[in-house]
Amino acid sequence: MDGTLTTSHRLRAQTIRALERLAEAGLKVVLVSGRPAGWGEAWARTLPVEGVIVENGGLFFVRGAKGLRKVYLEPPKERAENRRRLRSEVLRVLKRVPGAQLSSDSAYTEVDLAIDYNEEARLGDTAAGRIEALLRERGVTAVRSSVHVNCWLGRFDKLIATRRFAREAWGQALHPEDGRFVYAGDSFNDAPMFQAFALSVGVANVRSVLNRIEAPPAFITRAAEGRGFEELARAILVPRDRLQE
């Protein structure tokens, strides 16, 4: 969502229309985000998408015959234990990095937590890297988006959750290498998806992290942020429109 669909932290009407056009063409669109469960449920209910994966894969919302369903990647007892330990480890790290604080939307998370370095805070890349390193020293998974350092305990990430989503939503295994799926992203936490998907696309602002990201996208749009996603949507839809003429 952030930096891929949003433009200057806002969701443009043209970007929503791009999502609508993809859905109208019969394409299945799934949002994959580091944002909290509370935001994800709102998106799943209001945007033209098949479902929403949130908290870097900790849970997702999927449409079904009985309405919207929430699916967690880990069982309740494990989630509760991880949540307690995660909060303790994060508070320990916050004390060691001047100005570091939980993101304002962490109140709406269920599985992960986020430390703000580039949304309301302005800590910079050096501080963000230190936060990541300190968390990893404590055995916590930590990865940056364009605005937050997201962190969690548990065996999941965006790719693992996307594979599970495909089974739950469509009753089939996900084969990201076969060219039937496209993944679009913009930051460090998209690396597992960029690596797995043959058709992985970074919107142009991904260039700012290309020399530091573990797995770069296969393609990069000319335009940045939401306009880059709109560009991708047009590239997907134009050949389909020509086939129907």
Instruction: For residue range 132-143, list pLDDT tens digits in order.
Output: 999 999 999 999
Cβ 158 vs Cβ 129: under 8 Å: no
Average pLDDT score over the chain: 95
Mean pLDDT of 201-205: 98
CATH number of the domain bearing residue 44: 3.40.50.1000
pLDDT, position 242: 55
Mean pLDDT of 219-228: 98
Is the model's pLDDT at 239 over the cut of 80? no
pLDDT, position 127: 96
**Do the domain assignments include residue 83?**
yes
Instruction: For residue range 29-73, list pLDDT tens digits in order.
Output: 999 999 999 999 999 999 999 999 999 999 999 988 889 999 999
CATH number of the domain bearing residue 142: 3.90.1070.10
Instruction: For residue range 71-88, list pLDDT tens digits in order.
Output: 999 999 999 999 999 999
pTM of the model: 0.93
135 and 89 in a common domain: yes
100 and 134 in a common domain: yes
pLDDT, position 245: 47
80 and 41 in a common domain: no
Q: CA 70, 6, 192, 95 torsion: positive or negative?
A: negative
Is the model's pLDDT at 244 over the cut of 70? no
pLDDT, position 146: 86
Q: Where are the beta strands (DSSP E) in the chain?
A: 30-32, 51-54, 59-64, 67-72, 101-102, 113-116, 141-144, 148-152, 182-185, 199-202, 219-220
pLDDT, position 241: 56
126 and 170 in a common domain: no
Return the structure tokens found at 28.
């299945």
Rounded to an integer, what is the distance from CA 64 to the centroid of its chain? 22
pLDDT above 90 covers what percent of the chain? 93
Is the model's pLDDT at 243 over the cut of 50? no
Mean pLDDT of 166-173: 95
115 and 88 in a common domain: yes
Is the model's pLDDT at 98 over the cut of 60? yes
Is the model's pLDDT at 21 over the cut of 60? yes
Q: Give the CA distances from residue 220 to residues 91, 202, 209, in Å, rounded to whole numbers and listed in that order.
A: 37, 5, 12
pLDDT, position 36: 97
pLDDT, position 66: 84
pLDDT, position 117: 95
Q: Please state whether beta strands 51-54 and 59-64 pair in parallel, antiparallel, or not at all (unpaired).
A: antiparallel
Is the model's pLDDT at 158 over the cut of 50? yes
> Which residue range is the domain that position 110 belongs to?
76-152
